[in-house]
A and B are shown apart, each in its own frame.
Chain A
């Protein structure tokens, strides 16, 4: 039997919740960043599922086009974020957020 829209949305919601949990609980900056990627992908799953079950033919692919843009922007965002982490590590020699609580360099 074919899975329904609500099943896909449930997977997406679970993925988002796990990512949010990682952002809240973990202390390593890199792991927090990976959890952010999980949350972005949860949104992608929801958008593609919505696009699949869309009934209007003329806007049917809009969800997938949106996901295409999200993936592109996420790639750019990952590059910038990781460069920031590297620059921060050079200054402070740590990636633990508890040690990075002050903005002062």
Chain B
């Protein structure tokens, strides 16, 4: 059951991420934004599978809600006419795909050598042994991890609130009509 759900969500994540970057049917930024929403929602599905329920909710609220509205607002504000379609630079395209593919292969082989077949069996056995002790990121647990104890995160939390204020002021300043 969990494996099936993982396959669905993982496939959906990777597929719609690909469609954000390279959609063969449309080069309209709005289409990319819509597929970005799909990606975010399926990532939050992965978070639910990982037991991070609070983060799954936050992911949908912040990314699929706030960030996407911001993206769509800006796309429509700029009123992007599809400028004369430029010829893709094939050399740079090939170089990009090669570099990124090589990076992914390095990453994949390093995962496999760390959590390869031999250790994977062991890991699965351990997992089954301590299924009860699985981490669950409910709202209560995450709140306690954030705010309680001497290794809480109260200071970073406050710093983030200041950062949000600074970002808000900065955005208003940047997007005024006549910056002085």
Given that A35-B20, A37-B67 are known contacts, is A30 also in contact with B36, CB under 8 Å in the complex?
no
- Contacting residue for A86 out of B10, B123, B175, CB 8 A: B175
Classify the secondary structure of A's interface with B. Answer: helix
Q: Is the CB of A51 within 8 A of B52?
A: yes
Interface size on B, residues (CB 8 A): 84
Chain B's interface: helix, strand, loop or mixed, by majority?
A: helix
Interface residues of A in 59-93 (CB under 8 A from B): 60-62, 64-65, 67-69, 71-80, 82-87, 89
Shortest Cβ distance from A67 into B: residue: B55
In the complex, residue of chain A having the shortest beta-carbon distance to the beta carbon of B30: A30
B24 proximal to A (CB < 8 A): no
Query: Assuming the A-B contacts A27-B86, A51-B135, A79-B168, are A15 and B163 also in contact, with contact meaning beta carbons closer than 8 angstroms in the complex?
Result: no
Contact of B21 among A2, A21, A49 (CB under 8 A): A21
A102 to chain B, nearest CB (A): 18
What mask results when residues 5 to 18 of chain A are scored 1 for a CB within 8 Å of chain B, else 0? 11111110111111
Contact B70 A22 (CB under 8 A): no
Q: B103 and A64: CB pair below 8 A?
A: no
User: Hey, which bits of chain B sit against chain A, CB under 8 A?
Assistant: 2-3, 6, 10, 13-14, 17-18, 20-22, 29, 32-33, 36, 39-40, 43, 46-47, 49-52, 54-55, 58-59, 62-63, 66-67, 70-71, 74-75, 77-78, 80, 83, 86, 92-93, 95-97, 99-101, 103-104, 107-108, 111-112, 114-115, 120, 123-124, 127, 130, 133-135, 137, 141-142, 145-146, 151, 153, 156, 160, 163-164, 166-168, 170-171, 174-175, 179
- 26 A-B contacts, Cβ less than 8 Å apart? A6-B111, A6-B115, A13-B107, A17-B100, A19-B21, A20-B103, A21-B22, A24-B92, A24-B100, A30-B74, A30-B75, A37-B67, A38-B36, A41-B40, A44-B43, A48-B52, A48-B137, A52-B135, A65-B146, A71-B63, A72-B160, A73-B163, A75-B67, A79-B168, A87-B179, A94-B83
